[in-house]
Chain A
Amino acid sequence: MSRYLLYILPVLLWNVLPAQSQTGSKLLPTENDYYKIVTLPLPEGLVLEVGGLATLPNGSIAASTRRGEVWVIENPYMHNGQYPHYRRFASGLHEILGLAYKDGALYLAQRGELTKLVDKDGDGKADLYETVYAWPLSGHYHEYSFGPIVAPDGSMYVTCNVAFGDQEWWRGESRVPWRGWTLRITPDGQMEPFATGMRSPCGIGLVDGELFYGDNPG
């Protein structure tokens, strides 16, 4: 039962939101008036449930997916009207929700760890999947992890969803250490608990040295 209720909530939101922007479109400018939104053409069969994006120094974009892959998209702006090119950089990871580029490596949060991906042999695909720091999980589906956000000092921030359902189907529970926390992780893999009280802290960002996150709801 609770499963049905859980996915009705986003459905209701989707129903409400487009209606508002439609009625508003005559009065207010939309995002598309400032930043043109273009959907990239995908090769048939490619499932891109994107949870993280990173821009690379060479103009490519890297995208991480819930299906555990990292794709490097060359020519993402489709200059000269050419298709973008998709190269699978990594695969087999656990529901990635975040991606960052730093010093030649890609960093990402899987459900249970912060991982560093390196292409050591230069064939355009990761061959080193290094565990920077692993945190515990109880195994509840809602224990998603987000990030990382790279700070100027090279440390990284990840955020950790709570589980729920033991007491009330909606009540958040930190069943193992650091669920509901933001963690600061140094490049050498030391972890420092940074802040707590989060439920579903996705949408994290760093502005002028201050960390922001959008929880659900609000």
Chain B
Amino acid sequence: MAAHAQSHQTIPLNDLSAFRTPPSSWAIAGGISADPGKNHDLRTEAGTGILANLPVSGGADIYTQLEHGDIDLELEFMMANGSNSGIYLQGKYEIQLLDSWGKENVTFGDCGGVYERWIEEKQQGYEGYAPRINASRAPGLWQKMEISFAAPRFDQYGRKVSNARLLRVALNGVTLHENLELTGPTRGGGSAEATRGPLRIQGDHGPVAFRNIRYRLLDNPPLQLGELKWEQFATTTDFAPDLSTLKPKASGKTKTLTHEVTNENSQFTLRFTGKLSVPAAGNYHFDLQAYGSGTLHIDGKEIIGKGWWFRSGTANLSAGEHQVEIIYTKKESWWPNGLGLFVEGPGIRRQALHVESSVPLGQMARQIFLDFESKPVLMRCFIDFRRHPDSAAHRITHAISVGFPQRLAYSYNLSTGTLLQVWKGGFLDATPMWDDRGDGSSQPNGSVIPLSDEPQLAVLATSETPWPIFDKENSPFRPRGYELDDNGQPTYQYEAYGFSASDKIIPTADGRQLERTITCKSSGQSNLYLRVVSGKEIKAVSATLYLVDGTYFIETAAKPLLRNSGGQQELLLPLGAGTSLTYQLIW
């Protein structure tokens, strides 16, 4: 969500006071961990910030004090191995939570599915919706769910006039559903629908934990444009000239904001004036989409100044009516007419103030996807790497991405031998590279775990020496390419610091995780180290299993050194000449 959006509120998890008479299986905890291989394993540590359901037997659902209508909800959750839970919006419409880790085919009953409705007499389910892809992570890892929900609407007699809708559901950053209409409550959600209801979390099917439960209530009525008048001027410039000196060529009234008031497709300026009704005072963020150039003024004040195409501006508006002026200029004929104006503000979702036909949807590129195949698929392309989902992207120019038949994928920096990121779901979206002239880049088409873009091999004087800062201009690495084995799996070759290494990353036999083996074939150096991972917090879960920032596991029998260095934690392994190191990534 953009920085200008109204900030989220948080359900406090210092105690259980945010919940109605909480059942005994629910508790507040400070830390939590689970062995992904042990059925229903979930262990808590004292403290606050985590809501945990730890049923000894049975267990029951928990309801928030909060009641909601339209809502944007996001939360993090952790499944125990083999466990099952769910989030019921308004207590009635369930998004399923399940340990669906590694499943190839997912249904409405899997994690992120919209659970089915139910006919009791026939004992028959219907209208369940499977997630688009399986974006689930392993038990014992924090996962993120984002839900945008629109409540059903009722007329003055209490008759339903529009269904509840899931505007968007995303799991671990991947959209699973969009604009789904729900004709009624899902199974176990009762029958009566209402404008408001509490959040309900299922607690009778096994251990589960939650944290960072954040929401925005979006119940304010929408903004409205009214009393709209338009004038059309014959203009020959890229931007509108001073219109006060010009006579309009045509003019009229319109009920909706649209460029369709004119049949011209070049050399015109449209000026719209009217009233904007604002339900509540606050900061409103406007996005103007002018296919050409345009401006937005409110009460005579410039909100979006003269410029090309898509631009934004913010206005602090009081409740009530405001004078609005929108100017759209188009000089050339060889692109389509288009005029859109969106607004987002306190208690309202981003809404269009124009009609949909005013923006040329048909101009979107035909998408080009690369899917997993029966053999590994390799693709070299620019990769825009993000250390965190919200951080700025950094373009890796010599990257290769590999997708395996087991539906696992990774990206690798050939310049430095760095494992950049791993993901599951789909393989690559090559549209940015291959549509039209393209920009040389592709994007992972799944739920990404970013790892690192720094070299993972270095020579250290001692095991205390900080990891060196990489000097790209004087890189010690020399890539030698890769060779495919009989199954089409690549082994990378490179040289650095007087050694020659090979590097192979393949799925494990069960197809649920990746295993990496680095071999140092020859070396003129001692004190060569592999930095397996770095992170804010690395926790030993067992003798061979490490949890990194709560988002993935590293498993290795090689007894790595866990150290604090430069404000972070690192797992290091010495790599001697003629030896190999192996570790697994589990997520």
Contact = CB atoms under 8 A, between A and B. Distances in A.
Contact of A130 (B308, B335, B382, B481): B481
A141 interface: yes
Contacts of B436: 7
Contacts of B490: 129
A137 B398 contact: yes
Nearest to B400: A92
A94 interface: yes
A120 B491 CA distance: 15
B479 A139 contact: no
Instruction: Bin the interface of chain A by size.
Output: 20 to 34
B380 interface: yes
A141 B438 contact: yes
Given A127-B484, A131-B479, A92 B397 contact: no
B360 to A, nearest CB: 13
B437 interface: yes
Contacts of B308: 1
B414 A131 contact: yes
B106 interface: no
Contact of A95 (B309, B397, B414, B433): B433
A111 B436 CA distance: 17
A115 B481 CA distance: 8
B483 A127 contact: yes
A130 B480 contact: yes
A138 interface: yes
A119 B567 CA distance: 48
B440 A111 contact: yes
A112 B398 contact: yes
A24 B143 CA distance: 67
Contact of B380 (A93, A120, A136): A93
B157 interface: no
A195 interface: no
A129 B482 contact: yes
A128 interface: yes
A69 B158 CA distance: 62
Nearest to B430: A67
B483 A7 contact: no
A141 B440 contact: yes
A134 interface: yes
B289 interface: no
B481 A137 contact: no
Contacts of A139: 382, 395, 397, 440-441
Given A94-B381, A127-B484, A66 B434 contact: yes
Interface string A96-130: 00000000000000111101100011000011111
A3 B433 CA distance: 14
Interface string B81-92: 000000000000
Interface string B223-255: 000000000000000000000000000000000
A202 B485 CA distance: 35
Given A112-B398, A129-B482, A134 B440 contact: no
B67 interface: no
Given A8-B334, A134-B415, A137-B397, A94 B440 contact: yes
Contacts of A143: 440
Contact of A67 (B415, B434, B482, B486): B434
A30 interface: no
Interface in B189-235: none
B298 interface: no
Given A129-B483, A131-B480, A131-B481, A141 B439 contact: yes
B377 interface: yes
A141 B397 contact: no
A129 B481 contact: yes
Contacts of B480: 130-131
B483 A128 contact: yes
A110 B433 CA distance: 14
A22 interface: no
Residue from A8, A138, A139 with most neighbouring chain B CB atoms (10 Å) = A139
B378 interface: yes
B379 interface: yes
Contacts of B309: 1
A141 B437 contact: yes
B399 to A, nearest CB: 9
Nearest to A94: B380
A34 interface: no
A135 B379 CA distance: 19
B327 to A, nearest CB: 18
A42 interface: no
A109 B184 CA distance: 58
A68 B380 contact: yes
Interface in A1-22: 1, 4, 6-8
Interface in B472-519: 479-486, 490
A7 B398 contact: no
A106 B397 CA distance: 23
A120 B414 CA distance: 22
Contacts of B414: 131, 134
A92 B379 contact: yes
Nearest to B293: A1
A120 to B, nearest CB: 8
Nearest to A136: B397
Nearest to A144: B440
Contacts of A93: 380
A95 B483 contact: no
25 contacts: A1-B308, A6-B437, A7-B437, A66-B434, A91-B377, A92-B378, A95-B438, A112-B398, A113-B398, A113-B479, A116-B481, A127-B483, A127-B485, A128-B483, A128-B484, A129-B483, A129-B484, A131-B414, A131-B480, A134-B415, A134-B479, A139-B397, A139-B441, A141-B437, A143-B440
Interface of A: 1, 4, 6-8, 66-68, 91-95, 110-113, 115-116, 120-121, 126-131, 134, 136-139, 141, 143
What 6 A-B pairs come out closest when comparing CB atoms? A92-B378, A139-B395, A94-B380, A137-B397, A131-B481, A141-B439
Given A68-B379, A92-B380, 15 more contacts: A1-B309, A4-B334, A8-B334, A91-B378, A95-B438, A95-B440, A112-B397, A120-B483, A128-B483, A129-B483, A131-B414, A134-B415, A134-B479, A139-B440, A141-B438
Interface of B: 308-309, 334-335, 377-382, 395, 397-398, 400, 414-415, 433-434, 436-441, 479-486, 490
